[in-house]
Structure formats: C-alpha cells, structure tokens
Amino acid sequence: MAPPFTLSKDKIELQFATNHLGHFLLTELLLETMKRTSREQNKEGRIVNVSSEAHRFAYKGIFFDQLNDESSYNPIYAYGQSKLANILHAKELTKHFKENGVNLTANALHPGSIQTNLLRYHNIINGVVDWVGKYFLKNIPQGAATTCYVALHPQVEGVSGEYFMDSNIAQPNSYAKNAGLAKELWDISLTMVAPYH
C-alpha cells in the first residue's frame, strides 16, 4: 500500500502489478479448472477480490497511458487505482460468466480498516495507527469476516459483480460501475499477462 514509486521486475508499477495483475493472472490460470470443477460437482464456484474503500481515491478512473509513469505517480492514488481494478475485474468476470452460462460468481469487497503493517511506508501514520489503532481498527479475524462471508455464505449464492463491505452489499464509486472501463481494463490486463498465460 502506497510505496514509493517502484517497478516490478516486469517493468510495471508495483501496486498495479501486485494488487491487480497478480490476481488477474492467477484467476486466468485457474479459470478453466474452476469451470470444469463447478460443472462436474454441480456447485457454484466463487472468485473473491479483496479490494478497498481506497478505490475512491484512485486517479479519475484508471490512467492506462500513465501506469508506469513516475512523474505522474501518487502513492495513494495508485493504490486506489489498483483497488478500483479489483472491483472492475469482478464486474467484467461476471459479464463473461453470464454470457457463457458458467456457474461461477465474482465479487469484490472491502475488508475494513485492519491493524496490520500495510502503512509501513508511512512511518508517522503507521506509528499513530499502531498506537491508537487497537481502539478503532478491526483485528485480523474481524477483517477476514467479509471475505469469508462472500466466499462461503449461502446468502451470497448466485450474487455476482457486487462490492461488499461489513458482510453487506455496498455501493462503490461511479468508476467501479463503468462497463466500458471494466472492458478496457480486461483487454489491457490480458495483454499485460499474455507472456505468462
């Protein structure tokens, strides 16, 4: 979360590479197995993307033409952009599943503000969070609750393309609902992971 500008070994801005492309590629690599297993077991498969309320702090949408541009890099906006991508990915997966009659769902969620070392690149903020966080932040099990709910709870059966917070459907920002942006992200992500697919 919000590190100084860094490129991955594949020369992609680290937060976008880690928080979105890594998940995107893993999903692509597992998708055929998930489809086959769902069909053979006659059970719904679920894909859960851990996003964040920080998606609201993304640049204006996703800056595809500036993904790896250090001069326009803002650590918080870039983190938000990667988390917006998680929501858009779930939306576009849902579209593909519906078009192909696949018994899989894809949703995104905000786990909550959790007392972890996620802010390690921001010493002052991290210090304050460590000091007072125990009074208002979720602990690890509380932070995992929404992820477990979306992945396992019967009430979420058949629900796809949604954004959850505190084990309830929540409303993401308008960029996260943009079908054109989701499709563009999908196409660009496929191109970026093609060497590994």
Q: In sequence order, what are the beta bridge partners of 168?
A: 165
Q: Which of 100, 129, 134 is nearest to 117 (CA)?
A: 129
Domains of the chain: 14-196 (3.40.50.720)
Count Cβ neighbours within 10 Å for each residue of 83-95 and write b for 16 or more, e otherwise: bbbbbbbbbbbbb
Count Cβ neighbours within 10 Å for each residue of 118-148 and write b for 16 or more, e otherwise: ebeebeeebeebeeebeeebbeeeebbebbe
Q: Which of 177, 160, 182, 178 is nearest to 169 (CA)?
A: 160
Which residue among the candidates 59, 73, 77, 79 is catalytic per the annotation?
73
pLDDT averaged over every residue in the chain:
89
Q: In sequence order, what are the beta bridge partners of 7?
A: 13
Which pLDDT band holds residue 154 (cuts at 50, 70, 90)? very high
Report the first-to-last Cα separation within the chain, whole angstroms.
26
- 73 belongs to the catalytic site: yes
Question: Does the pLDDT of residue 114 top 60, yes or no?
Answer: no
Which pLDDT band holds residue 1 (cuts at 50, 70, 90)? confident
For residues 63 and 197, the model is more confident at 63
What does DSSP say about strands 45-50 and 163-165: parallel, antiparallel, or unpaired? unpaired
Supply the pLDDT for residue 196: 87
Supply the pLDDT for residue 136: 55
DSSP, residue by residue, 129-174: HHHHHHHHSB-HHHHHHHHHHHHH-GGGTT--S-EEETTEEE---G
Supply the pLDDT for residue 135: 47
Task: Give the DSSP letter of residue 3.
Answer: P
Supply the pLDDT for residue 113: 65
pLDDT digits (tens, 9 = 90+) for 135-145: 457 677 787 89
Supply the pLDDT for residue 44: 98
Question: Does the pLDDT of residue 86 top 70, yes or no?
Answer: yes
